[in-house]
Structure 1
Amino acid sequence: MINDLRVCVIGVGKIGEALVHCLISKNILESSRILAVDTLRERCEYIKGKYGIECSSDISRVVQRCDTIIIAVKPKDVRSVAEALSTYVTPKQLVITLAAGVSAGFLSGILRGKPPIIRAMPNIAMLVGESMTAIAKGPNASDEHLALAQEIFSSAGRVVVVEEKQMDAVTALSGSGPAYIYTIIEALSDGGVKVGLERSLATVLAAQTTLGAARMVLETKEHPAKLKDMVTTPGGTTAEGLMQLEKGKIRAVLMGAVIEAARKSERLLKS
């Protein structure tokens, strides 16, 4: 049972803190069963004060007491964290990495204890409990480990299971995707301002419209094209707006963003 586990989150920046918040607020884990590690002392003090969990800058003081270790640092810091962990981690502990462009095999090559490894890719919407997180089995991981990771990340939104070879594509689509959507919302809001709306109103209209449209896709399970056609009456305003989007090659631009972001993720992995 997950509520019997002791979980360590290494790196409590935006994503690490969001995961801690979701685990506690959704009653998945009590605060006494979550430990954190962060190199910034002031960050540790903030996390301790806000969530009532133990936080230390010393990995050795924390990880040996944990069943599951979640690495939530930036990709450039993964190697140093893995090297610090290597002395202490054992095959009985589950290691979950959240870093983009860092393979489970890379971690396994550093961690001498050869623990089971799960690779996960959440996104920034974890901050409001609406992350889209993909998880994949790495070396030594079982279906049981995968189920545990799924339960952990379900506290912060929706979870899908993929193969690790799909993670570059996942990173490009759902990992980077919120930034694409924010840009679209901003552009829609700009359009609203251009035609006479107050900025705050235009932003709310654009954001809620995006949220509602996304919910319809998820809940109806209809193809987006069919839902688009439901809104588009012959000779109407929506048809005119869609024509402008097609003139601007919005499909090609968005597809290109995902393709190039995936290529960048592949390059990060190779470097």
Structure 2
Amino acid sequence: MARLSIGFIGTGRIAQALISGLSHDPNIVICGYDKMPDALHSVSLQYGVNTEESIESLARDAEIIVIAVKPYQMAEVLAELKPALHGQHLIVSVAAGISTGFIESNCPEGTRVVRVMPNTPAFVGEGMTALCKGMHATADDLLVAERIFNAIGKTAIIEESGMDAATAVSGSGPAYMFRIIDSLAEGGEACGLDRETAQLLAAQTMLGAAKMVLSGHKSPEELVREVTTPGGTTEAGLKAMDERDLRGALIDTVRAAAARSKELMK
């Protein structure tokens, strides 16, 4: 497998999740830069990341540059990074709502850019990351980005026009799942379970159900039919769910998040 040199600008939570997954690969050399020296020092001690004193020095040592800063910091970072870039660099952006076009317009002509939208389950190695390429990025660049983000879960390559939807489904999605788990656990409590047991039952059930869907053997609706006996408990629960239009509520949830993602782009 090809050797990769990866530099992280910003070593916050998502960067740390990535670094944790990548640090076990002997074919990957990782360096990092952060405006907060203490944060960078901590990451270096924990994962063996080589520390850089500046963005310029990071660009000298890494061919793949992962920009993992807040969206409002991107313009400042790109202004500092631009003079240090050359044709061999691949820029991977983790910043939500920042288009590949914006990054390209603030980099030298022809800069290769891949934009990604990971999510917080990356911290337990079960992340879901959507990837799209910019104007100059190649199929090989996407393969490299996939290799990086497969270290913390699964990946999906999409068109950039679908990034708002991906943000709404998987980027924000963990919060929806947490809310559902919490609600199921509360229902269990209302029926006599203690909180700890109810939460375990709900969370493990969601995990198992997700793995059955990901196996790809059957659709979610087929799996629903398999577990539902006419006149049984599951049917009664599903009836209550349908009466309150949970499906419609979740569809509206995704639409609202996608609309907000579009607004943030402006």
TM-score range (shorter-chain normalised) is over 0.9
Do 1:91 and 1:113's aligned partners in 2 also have CA atoms closer than 8 Å?
no
Query: Following TM superposition, by how much is the alpha carbon of 1:28 offset from its aligned partner in structure 2, in angstroms?
Result: 5.8
**What is the distance in 1 between the residues matched to 2:227 and 2:108?**
57
Output the CA distance in 2 between the equivalents of 1:100 and 1:84: 20
Structure 1 residues not aligned, in runs of 5+: none
- Indicate if the aligned counterparts of 1:89 and 1:113 stay in contact, CA closer than 8 A: no
Q: Residue in 2 aligned with 1:160?
A: 156
Runs of 4+ off more than 6 Å: none
Displacement of 1:37 in angstroms is 1.4
Counterpart-to-counterpart distance in 2, 1:41 and 1:49: 12
Cα deviations across residues 135-154 of structure 1 (Å, max 9, x unaligned)?
A: 11102101111111111111
1:90–1:114 Cα contact (<8 Å) kept:
no
Q: Which residue pairs with 1:259 in the alignment?
A: 255
Residue of structure 2 equivalent to 1:172: 168
Match of 2:113 in 1: 117
Trace 1:135-146 onto structure 2 (pairs within 5 A): 135-146=131-142
- Tell me, which stretches of 5 or more residues in structure 2 are unaligned? none
The 1:172–1:158 alpha-carbon spacing in structure 2 relative to 1, beyond 3 Å, is same
Correspondence 1:126 to 2:125: no
Deviation at 1:180, TM superposition (A): 0.5
What residue identity is the alignment partner of 2:41? E
Q: What is the CA-CA distance between 1:203 and the residue it aligns to?
A: 0.9
Taking the TM superposition and a 5 Å limit, the aligned residue runs for 1:67-216 are 67-112=63-108, 114-216=110-212
Return the offset for 1:73: 1.2
The letter for the 2-side match of 1:6 is S
Aligned residue pairs total: 266
Separation (CA, whole Å) in 2 of partners of 1:214 and 1:196: 26
CA deviations over 1:62-98 (Å, ceiling 9, x no partner): 1221110011112122221111111111121000111
State the 1:24 CA deviation.
1.2
Residue identity over aligned pairs, in percent, reads: 38
State the alpha-carbon separation in 1 of the partners of residues 239 and 167 from structure 2.
30
Contact 1:98 1:119 in 2 (8 A): yes
- Structure 2: how far apart are the matches of 1:127 and 1:266? 26
> Alignment partner of 2:92: what SS?
strand
Residue 7 of structure 1 is matched in structure 2 by 6
Structure 1 position 29, deviation (Å): 4.0
Structure 2 match to 1:234: 230
Q: CA deviation at 1:221?
A: 3.3
Q: How does 1:48-59 map to 2 (within 5 A)?
A: 48-56=44-52, 58-59=54-55
Answer yes or no: is the 8 Å Cα contact 1:39–1:57 preserved in 2: no
Aligned to 2:23: 24
TM-score by length of 1: 0.94
Contact 1:40 1:57 in 2 (8 A): no
TM-score by length of 2: 0.96
Shift of 1:134: 1.2
**Matching of residue 268 in structure 1 with residue 264 in structure 2:** yes
RMSD of Structure 2 on Structure 1 (CA): 1.3
SS of structure 1 residue aligned to 2:84: coil
